[in-house]
Each structure stands twice: as C-alpha cells, then as structure tokens.
Amino acid sequence: MTPNIPPIEHPALHQRVAVSFARQGLMRHLQALLVRVAPGEVELWLPYSDRVTQQQDGFHGGAIGALADIAGGYAGLTVAPEDMEVTTAEFKINFLGSRQGGALRAVGRVIKPGRRLIVTSAEVTHVADDGQTSACALMQQTLVPVPRTY
C-alpha cells in the first residue's frame, strides 16, 4: 500500500520539514514517507516490512510509537520559529490494535502552539492493501522548542 501524495501546498514549510525528516536515521531505516505538510499538521506513512514487525508479524509498538512521535513532532515544527527545532518532552500513547500488511498512516496535529511548550496529538491508522482502515494508536505529546543545530 502506497499513499497518494498530494501536490505541495506550502513549499517553504514542506521544505523545512523535509530537510529535517531526511536527517532522521530511524525514519530512513524504517522506510517511512513524508506525505503532507500543512501549518499545524503533518502526515507520514510507514509501509509494512520485516523492519517494523514484532514476533507475531504485526507492526511493532516501537515502530508505531516512533511514527506517532515523529508525526506530532513535525506538526509542532510547522508552528515553531524558523531558527528552532523541537524535541519531545513527553508523550502518552494508547495502542488500539496491531495489524499486518498494508501501511500505517500517522497524522500529527498541533493542539496548542506556544513559545515554551507545544502540545500535539497524532492518530495512527492502519491502511490495509484493499484500502480498509482501522484505528491503530492515539498519542498526545508535549514538545519543547530548542535552537536548531544545523
């Protein structure tokens, strides 16, 4: 299952997130895809592969949690000052189900932007090969803006 990648609506914002996303070694290793960037919202996809499974061949909770964390984090980055990055201070995740095959779609959204703290959420949905969707995880996150180091 591969996502339909929409046209880029916010080129400068998309570029800012894409440059940072490309530096994410874990996301490269897991073969995650940056699909959409908008102010306060980011969509990522993670295709099913043996890189992201647990012993029962379902998506591993660590991969699901990482995808949610990154989606929420990049949603937060879209509202952070240009010279700043963000880092996760904490998150809470509810795993709603593990699936096999298809892909995971994570949509991160800013709930409350701020200068010192940014609160986000991320919904992770399983998209089966036939297009059927089911809830996989729900996360709430607190981010801290930090100076960009690159």
pLDDT given for residue 10 in this prediction: 87
Taken in order of first residue, the domains within the chain and their CATH numbers are 11-147 (3.10.129.10)
- Quote the pLDDT of residue 76: 98
**d(C-alpha 74, C-alpha 108), whole Å:** 7
pLDDT tens, residue by residue, 5-58: 888 898 999 999 999 999 999 999 999 999 999 999 999 999 999 999 999 999
- Please check the confidence at residue 2 and state whether its pLDDT lies above 90: no
β-pair partners for 43: 36, 107
- Burial class of residue 150, CB neighbours in 10 A (0-12, 13-18, 19+): exposed
Query: Is residue 82 scored above 80 in pLDDT?
Result: yes
Please name the amino acid found at residue 99: R
pLDDT number for residue 102: 97
Strand 133-147 with 33-38, pairing: unpaired
Task: Give CA separation, 21 vs 1, 6, 54, 56, 129, in Å.
Answer: 21, 18, 24, 29, 26
Mean pLDDT of 120-140: 97
pLDDT at 112: 98
- Helical (H) or strand (E) element with 21: helix 11-22
| 111: helix, strand or coil | strand
What mean pLDDT do residues 127-132 have?
Answer: 95
User: Over 90: is that where the pLDDT of 150 sits?
Assistant: no
